[in-house]
A and B are shown apart, each in its own frame.
Chain A
Amino acid sequence: MTAIVTDKDTSSADLDRLSAIAQDVIRLARAKGASEADVAASIDLGLSVGVRLGEVETVEHTRDRGVAVTVYFGRRKGSANTADLDPKSIELTVEHACAIARHTEEDPANGLAEEELLAREIPDLDLWHPWDITPEEAIRLGIEIEDAGRSFDARIDNSDGSAVQVGASLTAYANSLGFLGTERSTSHSLSVALIAEDASGMQRDYWYDAVRHAGDFADPASIGRKAAERTLARLGARSLGTRECPVLFVPEVARSLVGHFLSAASGGALYRRASFLLDQLGQPVFPSWMQIVERPHILRGHGSTAFDSEGVATRDSDLVRDGVLARYILGSYSARKLGLRSTGNAGGVQNIVVQPGAQDLRALMKGMGTGLLVTELMGQGVSLVTGDYSRGASGFWVERGEIVHPVEEITIAGNLREMYRNVVAVGSDVDPRSHILTGSILLERMAIAGEG
């Protein structure tokens, strides 16, 4: 068997090839009459190994390629993409994009980003760390993680398996303003899901770690043990009677609350008038002590990038300053629709940092006294138009700062506008595994519905 990323790192040559393809596409588009064009060409390579009950279950080798082109004829736009990097397919793809642009209508907001916003230098963000692991080694690692969980307690009597995932991604972006930028990054993860059973029934839970550099992984056995602890803690869960009470979100679910805020502050939702944050620029959205900052250049950060998907330079900037919505999240299209400037967020946000507080999860539980600790959320049930929020949840009932029993089959409901205003505290327990970096979040009050 072969490793997917061997000692011989070919990424430089691959990036050169993607750059050449990207520049060819721009030339082709101009030759076919496009006034402006941009293109992203990419290669993603991966190895994914699954282990279950001590034996390898799946070994998957992945290799995805793509070219996505957008052409503008004046203010008319057309897009096309292909997974085939063959010159003939690429030419056909450019023709498809041009054909579409012959039918779309003039939109004054269409076009490339303003030239002065494009990235001029591309700092090394330390994102390229190929993991030279063979499938055999990955299988052994998967077995070690799962074993640590299965041997933790006799009630762990089944497993959904562990997974070792290795990934590498290369991208070249070019546009007809002469911009050409390349980026390469790796991301790897370890995960395991276990099942425990007792007289009360079966429960499943999981744990994982995700990094840019395999050297940054937590001890593999600790991932298995943590999954086992979490699974066991759910045994005997029951519903709660309908009530209102404080709710504390652990970091891995707290980041979904931040994610809803990011979606509602995004240009696409705003110009469609489909956001509860419409007309809230400069207004208090969170309590006055809260700060949320975008930091695109964190070394080895999960969302780090030097330029956005339009080539616009990314930079540190406040999103929420002293609780006030300091800016929207804009690419150049949505910015023009709103009469604003791009914030370097075409394609989404980079690293979002919610300023942590001083208290860890235990201290936050003490501070909450009696309430619900949420560790998992289920289903959709969030309207960005109105901010109405109603989701399935599970976690733990807490009294006097201590866990009393696990909870399941309840919903938690409120309105995001009020939920954000009523944040009581952000924890110091920041979860580093995502581009949204937040600690636990304590809300003053939500409606709980259940049967009990």
Chain B
Amino acid sequence: MSTLISHAEHQLLRPGGLSTSDLDGVFARLMGPAIDAADLYFQHSRTESWVLEDGIVKDGSHSIEQGVGVRALSGEKTGFAYSDEIVLPALLEAAGSARAIAHAGANGTGRPLAIASAHALYPAIDPIDSLANEDKIAVLREVDATCRAADPRVKQVVVSIAAALDTVLVAHSDGTLAADVRPLVRMNVQVIAEQDGRRESGSSGGGGRYGFPELLRNGRAHAFAREAVRAALVNLEAVPAPAGTMPVVLGPGWPGVLLHEAIGHGFEGDFNRKETSAFAGMLGEKVAADGVTVVDDGTLAGRRGSLSIDDEGTPSGCTMLIENGVMKGYMQDKLNARLMGMAPTGNGRRESFAHLPMPRMTNTYMLPGERDPGEIIASVKRGLYAVNFGGGQVDITNGKFTFSASEAYLIEDGKVTRPVKGATLIGSGAEVLKRVSMIGNDLELDEGVGVCGKDGQSVPVGVGQPTLRIDAMTVGGTAV
């Protein structure tokens, strides 16, 4: 961690003539008798992306952002200001604005800063430079060629790659001084296939906290290409989806977006402190069927949703949300943990220095059961088998959530038969996991494309689950 600190100090503070020892002066301005806590979040981020379309690499872009967010907390109140200039006068001005939340008073001090230790879950590399530009272009072309060679019905291919490097330094009045260097890469493939005047799309992609060589290992890029083509061709055959309530079998991996929407958001500390979540006050109660165990785990090496430390300097953790059907814990940031008398769980995250941290998910997944996936499908007389999804949404307060299938099939007499068009599934968070009757032995995590939005802030996340049978869910097709 101390290497990371000096790296972050060099990147973030040195150019403005600052060092970590200058931060005491900022805390002196920021703290006061009515201020419970305060923090400074320095960030430098650099991103690069390339897009291939119509067979040519037609666009690329590069972006640099940096700044410092300054926050002062007093009870449930938060004062916040930020600056895109990391120099002492700007820091002091932001500190003055943030601190005004608690009105004037004598200056105070934070605890002396001490370097927090955390286990690094990803290498401190710059993924933008992990592959030469010529090679990035070549990869895009190869993926395009793989898509077009896969089937003559493929009419349009869009391939993009993006890499980002975030360097952050967090100083908190509780004495935390922590730094992190966070690489993130991603590839997306979208194809349009046409047949007899009908057009359908298919997409695929993945990534994580590593460089391009890791993303491209073992032909993974070509696997994305083939997967996007396969999905588009399946959709060309799709018939209208059924409408109504029926048994639903969810495939492993990305369909875990169910957990993110149905229970994940409802288990975030802020909504429970404010008692606006449908799960407020339900710790220790049964919220899911026996055998259902769900965790939020930020500690998986290299995963898109993982963090060595969260954006408040707390090492990420593996938080038990539901254990064998019983609600066990919340995801917390420092503010909500303090107000609820609990411990932070490493879930304090923010989109950037210009946004306030909140409790957010990392990688949320259900642990495997013992059933063979084939046996789960065979148990359904008539229902839906949904293997891929777009996004979802939840109303925290009444617990209703949706998630939209992008690849699904009918199950008839225990067999997967015809593909059906995409349809939205809707349910109630407090009910849906009680209707889980079979849990597969095939836990998978997603490929690494998830983005979660909350209060206008986007952060990368992961999900996962084994094959699941839900006895009854509403499927929003058109075939009434």
Contact = CB atoms under 8 A, between A and B. Distances in A.
B398 A392 contact: no
14 contacts: A78-B59, A89-B64, A160-B276, A203-B398, A273-B155, A378-B395, A378-B426, A380-B391, A390-B424, A392-B401, A411-B424, A413-B478, A447-B479, A448-B480
A379 B275 contact: no
Interface in A70-96: 77-84, 89, 92-93, 96
B424 A391 contact: yes
> Chain A at the B interface: mostly helix, strand, loop or mixed?
strand
A298 interface: no
A392 B201 CA distance: 22
Contact of A409 (B194, B391, B403, B426): B426
Interface string B75-100: 01111111111000000001001001
A32 interface: no
Nearest to A234: B398
A52 B390 CA distance: 34
Interface in A92-131: 92-93, 96-97, 99-101, 103-107, 110
B66 A83 contact: yes
B393 A135 contact: no
B403 A379 contact: yes
A376 to B, nearest CB: 8
Contacts of A105: 56-58
B61 interface: yes
Nearest to B80: A60
Given A52-B76, A379-B424, 6 more contacts: A81-B62, A272-B156, A379-B391, A390-B422, A408-B398, A447-B480
Interface in B129-164: 133-134, 136-137, 155-156, 158
A57 interface: yes
Contact of B81 (A60, A158, A392, A410): A60
A82 B85 CA distance: 12
Interface in A408-423: 408-415
A451 interface: yes
A65 B392 CA distance: 32
- In this complex, which of A96, A203, A237 has the most chain B Cβ atoms within 10 angstroms of its Cβ? A96
A446 B117 CA distance: 57
A59 B79 contact: yes
A82 B84 CA distance: 11
Contacts of B57: 103-105
Contacts of A97: 61-62
Contact of A381 (B66, B278, B404): B404
Contact of A83 (B67, B136, B425): B67
A17 interface: no
A55 B423 CA distance: 43
B100 A1 contact: yes
Interface in B376-394: 390-393
Contact of A273 (B62, B194, B278, B474): B194
- In this complex, which of A107, A204, A379 has the most chain B Cβ atoms within 10 angstroms of its Cβ? A379
B64 A84 contact: yes
Interface string A121-159: 000000000000001000000000000000000000010
Contact of A392 (B77, B155, B402): B402
Contacts of B200: 385-386
B476 A391 contact: yes
B77 A58 contact: yes
A164 B178 CA distance: 34
Nearest to B244: A242
B222 interface: no
A415 B427 contact: no
A244 interface: yes
Given A79-B60, A385-B192, A385-B199, A447 B400 contact: no
B393 A379 contact: yes
B457 interface: no
Contacts of A273: 155-156, 192, 194, 199
Interface in A362-408: 378-381, 383, 385-386, 388, 390-392, 394, 408
A27 interface: no
Nearest to B56: A105
Contacts of A99: 62, 133
Nearest to B277: A202
A204 B62 contact: no
A412 B476 contact: yes
A228 interface: no
B475 interface: yes
A202 B274 CA distance: 13
B174 interface: no
Contact of A158 (B155, B276, B395, B401): B276
Nearest to B398: A203
Interface in B271-314: 274-276, 278
A392 B61 contact: no
A202 B243 contact: no
Contacts of B398: 201-204, 234, 237, 408
A409 B400 contact: yes
A62 interface: yes
B413 interface: no
A410 B426 contact: yes
B423 A93 contact: no
Q: Closest 10 A-B residue pairs measured CB to CB?
A: A411-B476, A379-B402, A392-B402, A204-B397, A100-B60, A381-B424, A449-B243, A381-B404, A79-B61, A96-B62
B63 A81 contact: yes
B278 A83 contact: no
A239 B474 contact: yes
Contact of A160 (B133, B274, B478, B479): B274
